[in-house]
């Protein structure tokens, strides 16, 4: 996430920024990102999520698809199947 965030912030408005944002799940800049710049606080790793609302918003589904895509691309699909 940190790499995608830095890449997204450096890009000017346009198609490329939209594509990076869509792939990483970034829609706009959040004030929480200041914590990353100051303390290395990563929203995805260090934030407590409310499962009830994540499931209702289908955010969970999106990240599961991203996880499977990552596992397939890196040849770790068997490891993922074992963990699930």
Does 39 lie in the same domain as 65? Answer: no
Number of folded domains in the chain? 2
Does 42 lie in the same domain as 31? Answer: yes
Range of the domain at 59: 48-84
pLDDT at 17 > cutoff 70: yes
Does 72 lie in the same domain as 54? Answer: yes
Mean pLDDT rounded to a whole number for the chain? 76
The mean pLDDT of 36-51, rounded to a whole number, is: 77
Does 53 lie in the same domain as 19? Answer: no
User: Which residues make Cβ contacts (< 8 Å) with residue 9, sequence separation at least 6?
Assistant: 29
Cα–Cα distance between 74 and 51 in angstroms, integer?
Answer: 28
The mean pLDDT of 42-59, rounded to a whole number, is: 72
pLDDT at 45: 79
Residue 78 Rama label (left phi>0; alpha psi -120 to 50; beta): alpha
The mean pLDDT of 26-42, rounded to a whole number, is: 76
pTM for the whole structure: 0.33
The alpha-carbon radius of gyration of the chain (Å, integer) is: 15
């Amino acid at each position: 996430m940190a790499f995608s965030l830095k890449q997204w912030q450096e890009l000017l408005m346009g198609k490329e920024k939209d594509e990076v944002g869509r792939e990483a799940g970034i829609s706009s800049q959040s004030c929480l990102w200041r914590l990353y710049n100051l303390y290395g606080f990563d929203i995805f790793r260090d934030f407590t999520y409310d499962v009830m609302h994540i499931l209702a918003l289908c955010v969970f589904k999106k990240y599961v698809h991203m996880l499977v895509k990552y596992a397939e691309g890196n040849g770790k699909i068997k490891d993922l199947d074992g963990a699930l």
